[in-house]
Structure 1
Amino acid sequence: MSQTLLFGAFLAALLYVLIPGPAFLALLGIGAGQGRRAGAMFMGGHLAGDVLWSALALVAIVGAKSIGSTIFDILGLFCGLYLAWIGWTALNARPRGDNQPLLVVERPYRRGLIFGLTNPKGYPVALATFTALLASSANALEFDALPMLLAVSFFGFLVADLILIFVIGAPIVRRFYRRHELAIVRLSGLLFIGFAVQAIWHAAPGLLGLRKP
């Protein structure tokens, strides 16, 4: 298995967690109000959802590749369009008004577990992100590569969780986020659009018949 494929899986898992989204905002709220320990418990519960949705995404990606490259290219195109839509929505975000009081979460681990497993965007975002970053190594995707890809992805989740847990309790981070929330959301939109361009770039040659066999 190529190092490019492994690094792509690691990076996809890392960015799947780090790019601001509903879970990121929930974690920031809990960490800002209750500290790093509560934030760590939330992320520990949410990890179950990260693993589940990403495992399903990898199975779908590898299955599509095993069936045929055309299906993988179509999958990449639709994932690219989905990422572009998310990015465009973030770029057009508008201020939501003054800061709202933070709610105290009595059981952050359970909140994270439920949040991760019931997030309706977990699977499509994981599918789109992994597709965008693994498309360049599509020829190496086989079912026997799944255990290693899942292991590398799990390591990426852990690294991302540790990074978030480390920073969420810092007062300067909370102040910076509150002051620049709109800019951070729009920057995440640019990242999603970048992934969209990459996914479409790798899918287009196959769909247009320009890829060499």
Structure 2
Amino acid sequence: MTGSMLAGAFLAAVFYVIIPGPAFLALLGIGAGQGRKAGAMFLGGHLAGDLVWSTLALVAIVGANTIGTLVFDVLGLLCGFYLAWIGWTALRAKPRGADKPLLMVERPLRRGLIFGLTNPKGYPVALATFTALLASSASTLSFSTLPMLLAVSLFGFLLADLFLIAIIGASIVRRFYRKHELAIVRMSGLLFMGFAVQAVWHAAPGLANWRRA
């Protein structure tokens, strides 16, 4: 178990939570309309989905590495393209128009649980993010490292959730987000593009060596 592997799993979990997406926007709406407690309950429910999708992603990544580095390199290349597509979509985002009224959620814990477990983008985003940040440790991944990776990921999820809980509901945050929503989304697009470059960078040498062989 290397430090870079643990750091990669931790950062992947953090970025998976805090990068703006459907869940982030839902949380912002709940926090803005109902305060930090409701937002915290939403995140508590959503954590179940985070753990499910990250576990499946890590199992897929470790399994691919156990089968062979070629599979992992192909997986990394595909995930790189997927991340690039997400980033490009965010960079081309357009203003949504006038602010819409906030929707009051009566059971934010249940909403978060359903939202997290039924989000169709949960698995591919987790797979792409974890693949990009664990690619440099591909040679040391195995099923024996999976429990520690999951533990570190859970720690990352919790810290990211606490960070979001600390900032949601604040009027200055709501005003800032509404004023700079487009810029925030586009900056997240740049971050996804950076992940894409990293994933392709680590996958390309292995694929090139395989072609020569």
Shorter-chain TM-score tier: over 0.9
Q: Residue 176 of structure 2 aligns with which residue?
A: 176
Structure 1: distance between partners of 2:103 and 2:25? 13
Q: State the 1:210 CA deviation.
A: 7.6
Q: State the 1:147 CA deviation.
A: 0.3
Q: Residue 130 of structure 2 aligns with which residue?
A: 130
Structure 2 alignment gaps of length 5 or more: none
| 1:192-211 alignment runs, 5 A limit | 192-209=192-209
For this pair of structures, how many residues does the alignment match? 212
Q: Residue 107 of structure 1 aligns with which residue?
A: 107
Identity %: 78
DSSP-derived class of the 1:156 partner: helix
Segments of 4+ moved more than 3 angstroms: none
Deviations 1:96-131, CA, capped at 9 Å, x for gaps: 100000010000000000000000000000000000
| 1:52-63 alignment runs, 5 A limit | 52-63=52-63
| 1:1-213 alignment runs, 5 A limit | 1-209=1-209
Q: State the 1:170 CA deviation.
A: 1.1
Superposed CA RMSD in Å reads 1.2
DSSP-derived class of the 1:146 partner: helix
Residue type at the aligned position of 2:60:
A
DSSP-derived class of the 1:209 partner: helix
Q: State the 1:5 CA deviation.
A: 0.4
Q: State the 1:169 CA deviation.
A: 1.5
Residue type at the aligned position of 1:175:
R
Structure 1 alignment gaps of length 5 or more: none
Deviations 1:125-157, CA, capped at 9 Å, x for gaps: 000000000000101100000000000000000
DSSP-derived class of the 2:209 partner: coil
